């Protein structure tokens, strides 16, 4: 269009020039109006033809240019679409790879977690096996130690028994020589008071002291037999003391057995406690666990009918943890009586042994009464007239 406008502008200038030339011609040659009109028509026709020609050329050029631009654009669009397809394909492939890698990563993570858990479990099992191994080794060592200790204890008891037998034989022989009017004397003979004659105990009872370590069993025996209190180390063997006691039913002798309260000595055979007449179940009033362990200690004895629960160390008022009600509740559960003592001060120590002695005497008296009644029934049922049936015919 700009070329067309330029052409029109040049044509107009040309027409103006021609008009000027025309006026000159009219003046000079004095052309007629008809000729001027013809010339003007020819000029208009020329101008119209040139304008149409130029318009067609410009239009064709513009159309070609537009077609070229459209073709280039179509080519670019086609190229862009192809590039877009390729990019989409690559993106799809990348997404697929990312999803697969993500799944693989999740699988690897799960496998790693499982392996970690298995490693922890194996580590825990390894520790448990190590602990079990240590326990077994400790148990083996304790068993070996207990076996050695038991052997030494047996040798010691055998030696003591032999020495005691020799001593008793010498004592009996000397007493027989001094007291010819007496048929025999027991090793449990004691003086009731200084200056009085020797008395033979009417009955002998075997008493067992049971309880945890540091409950004060040895201190109670020392206080009762010697009226002394000393801080002693935990008992590691089995020993006994003899004590004569005057009761309302007569003079009795108590054979008091002291036992080890530590757990590793629980394997010592129970044959030492066989045929025990009574047991003192001792606990520490400053240690709650010692009261709870009374049941376990009682299971070590068989056929013990007379029991007495004893709470020791009542002098430690500030450190006390077990009340009197707790001790009574345990005694009621075991079906026996309960008493509290202090080996340090001597509080209720004689009363505890006297109470157990009274229970053992009452039990023995009842058994003797039953035996006497049964013998009486047998004697009454016997008919002397049937004696001939059992007599010899010769």
Q: Please, which pLDDT band fits residue 1 given cuts at 50, 70 and 90?
A: low
pLDDT digits (tens, 9 = 90+) for 136-185: 888 888 777 777 777 777 777 777 777 766 666 666 665 555 443 333 23
**How many CB atoms sit inside 10 A of residue 338's CB?**
21
Q: What is the CATH number of the domain that holds 342?
A: 3.40.50.300
Higher-scoring residue by pLDDT: 252, 301? 252
Into how many domains does the chain fold?
1
Task: Assess if residue 394 is contained within a domain.
Answer: no
Task: Assess if residue 298 is contained within a domain.
Answer: yes
Give the residue ranges of DSSP H helices in the chain: 2-29, 33-178, 217-226, 288-292, 294-298, 324-334, 349-381, 387-390
Over residues 206-216, mean pLDDT = 88
The parent domain of residue 218 ranges over: 200-367
Window from 7-21, 48-62, 66-80, 165-179 with minimum mean pLDDT: 165-179
For residue 187, what pLDDT is reported? 35
Query: What is the chain's mean pLDDT, rounded?
Result: 77
For residue 220, what pLDDT is reported? 93
Most confident of 21-35, 65-79, 182-196: 65-79
Say how far apart CA 380 and CA 330 lie, in whole Å.
46
Task: Assess if residue 150 is contained within a domain.
Answer: no
Does 304 score more than 90 pLDDT? no
Most confident of 3-7, 45-49, 318-322, 364-368: 318-322
Task: Assess if residue 225 is contained within a domain.
Answer: yes
Task: Assess if residue 48 is contained within a domain.
Answer: no
Task: Assess if residue 277 is contained within a domain.
Answer: yes
pLDDT digits (tens, 9 = 90+) for 105-144: 888 888 888 888 888 888 898 888 888 888 888 888 877 7
The phi, psi pair for 212, rounded to 5°, reads -65, 165
Most confident of 157-171, 325-339, 363-377: 325-339
Q: Please, which pLDDT band fits residue 271 given cuts at 50, 70 and 90?
A: low
Does 23 score more than 80 pLDDT? no
352 within 8 A of 280, measured Cβ to Cβ: yes
222 within 8 A of 206, measured Cβ to Cβ: no
Does 330 score more than 50 pLDDT? yes
Q: What 8-state DSSP symbol labels residue 192?
A: S
Does 368 score more than 80 pLDDT? yes
Q: Which residues contact 306 (CB under 8 A, 6 or more apart)?
A: 277, 278, 279, 336, 356, 359, 360, 363
Residues in the chain: 394
Higher-scoring residue by pLDDT: 272, 71? 71
Say how far apart CA 394 and CA 28 lie, in whole Å.
218
Q: Please, which pLDDT band fits residue 281 given cuts at 50, 70 and 90?
A: very high
Task: Assess if residue 89 is contained within a domain.
Answer: no
Rg, the chain, Cα only: 65
Q: Which two tokens stand for residue 372?
A: 């006497």
Over residues 383-387, mean pLDDT = 53
Q: Which of 316, 299, 315, 298 is nearest to 307 (CA)?
A: 298
Task: Assess if residue 105 is contained within a domain.
Answer: no
Exposure string for 48-63, b = 16+ CB within 10 A, e = fewer:
eeeeeebeeeeeeeee
For residue 287, what pLDDT is reported? 93
Window from 39-48, 219-228, 258-267, 276-285 with minimum mean pLDDT: 258-267
């Amino acid at each position: 269009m700009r070329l067309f406008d330029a052409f029109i502008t040049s044509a107009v200038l040309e027409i103006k020039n021609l008009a000027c030339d025309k006026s000159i011609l009219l003046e000079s040659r004095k052309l007629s109006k008809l000729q001027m009109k013809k010339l003007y028509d020819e000029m208009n026709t020329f101008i119209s033809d040139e304008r149409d020609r130029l318009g067609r050329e410009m239009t064709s050029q513009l159309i070609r240019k537009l077609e070229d631009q459209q073709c280039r654009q179509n080519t670019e669009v086609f190229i862009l679409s192809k590039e877009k397809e390729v990019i989409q394909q690559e993106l799809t492939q990348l997404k697929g790879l990312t999803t697969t890698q993500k799944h693989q990563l999740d699988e690897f993570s799960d496998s790693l977690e499982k392996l970690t858990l298995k490693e922890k479990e194996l580590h825990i099992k390894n520790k448990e096996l190590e602990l079990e191994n240590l326990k077994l080794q400790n148990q083996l060592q304790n068993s070996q130690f207990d076996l050695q200790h038991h052997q030494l204890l047996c040798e010691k008891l055998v030696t003591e028994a032999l020495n005691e037998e020799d001593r008793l034989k010498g004592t009996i022989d000397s007493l027989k020589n001094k007291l010819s009017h007496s048929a025999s004397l027991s090793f449990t003979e004691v003086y009731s008071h200084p200056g009085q004659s020797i008395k033979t105990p009417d009955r002998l009872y075997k008493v067992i002291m049971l309880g945890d370590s540091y409950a004060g069993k040895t201190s109670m025996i020392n206080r009762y037999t010697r009226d002394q209190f000393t801080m002693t180390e935990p008992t590691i063997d089995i020993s006994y003391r003899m004590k004569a006691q005057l009761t309302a039913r007569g003079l009795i002798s108590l054979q008091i057995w002291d036992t080890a309260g530590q757990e590793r000595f629980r394997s010592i055979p129970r044959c030492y406690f066989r045929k025990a007449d009574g047991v003192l179940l001792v606990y520490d009033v400053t240690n709650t666990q010692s009261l709870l362990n009374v049941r376990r200690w009682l299971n070590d004895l068989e056929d013990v009918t007379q029991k007495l629960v004893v709470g020791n160390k009542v002098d430690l008022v500030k450190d006390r943890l077990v009340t009197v009600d707790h001790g009574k509740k345990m005694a009621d559960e075991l079906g026996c009586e309960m008493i509290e003592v202090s080996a340090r001060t001597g509080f209720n120590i004689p009363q505890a042994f006297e109470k157990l002695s009274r229970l053992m005497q009452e039990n023995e008296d009842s058994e003797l009464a039953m035996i006497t009644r049964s013998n009486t029934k047998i004697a009454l049922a016997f008919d002397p007239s049937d004696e001939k049936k059992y007599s010899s015919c010769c």
